């Protein structure tokens, strides 16, 4: 998926299994899911990391947009495998579901 500068989600059609690299632009950013992405340390340091105003959701979307504006590129690797481990958290129950929807809604509102 991708999004425009107003945050509206758009479909991003990719065919095949080859990795693709996208430059960021002011008008278009690549949307990734935080559980299935990785960022270069230097890029995170350069931009000051994730915006703490985003609690859940959209934090990586905001970061991807800012990375693109700063000249960083986003690579999509369709065959990549990601293991997402879960650490203990006061915000999630044993089945990883959020205990409250407040934090979820804080980023969507």
Q: Taking the complete model, does pTM exceed 0.75, yes or no?
A: no
Report yes or no: 36 and 29 within 8 Å, Cβ to Cβ.
Answer: no
Q: What is the predicted pLDDT for the residue at 88?
A: 65
Structure tokens at 59: 């934090």
Cα 75 to Cα 24, 33, 54, 97, 102, distances in angstroms = 11, 13, 23, 29, 32
> Residue range 87-103: average pLDDT?
75
Q: How far apart are CA 59 and CA 48, in angstroms?
A: 13
Q: Where are the domains of the chain?
A: 2-108
pLDDT confidence band for 109 (50 / 70 / 90) = low
Q: Which helix (H) or strand (E) holds 47?
A: helix 41-47
pLDDT tens figures, 23-73: 888 888 888 876 678 889 999 999 999 998 887 778 888 888 899 999 999
pLDDT confidence band for 16 (50 / 70 / 90) = very high
Q: What is the predicted pLDDT for the residue at 29?
A: 83
């Amino acid at each position: 998926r991708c999004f425009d500068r107003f945050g509206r989600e758009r479909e991003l059609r990719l065919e095949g299994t080859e990795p693709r690299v996208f430059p960021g632009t002011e008008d278009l950013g690549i949307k990734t899911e935080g559980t299935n992405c990785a960022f270069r340390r230097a890029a995170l340091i350069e931009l000051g990391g994730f915006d703490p105003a985003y609690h859940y959701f959209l934090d990586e979307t905001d970061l991807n947009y800012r990375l693109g504006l700063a000249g960083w590129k986003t690579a999509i690797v369709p065959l990549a495998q990601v293991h997402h481990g879960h650490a203990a958290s006061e915000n999630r129950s044993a089945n990883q579901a959020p205990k409250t929807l407040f934090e979820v809604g804080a980023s969507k509102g």
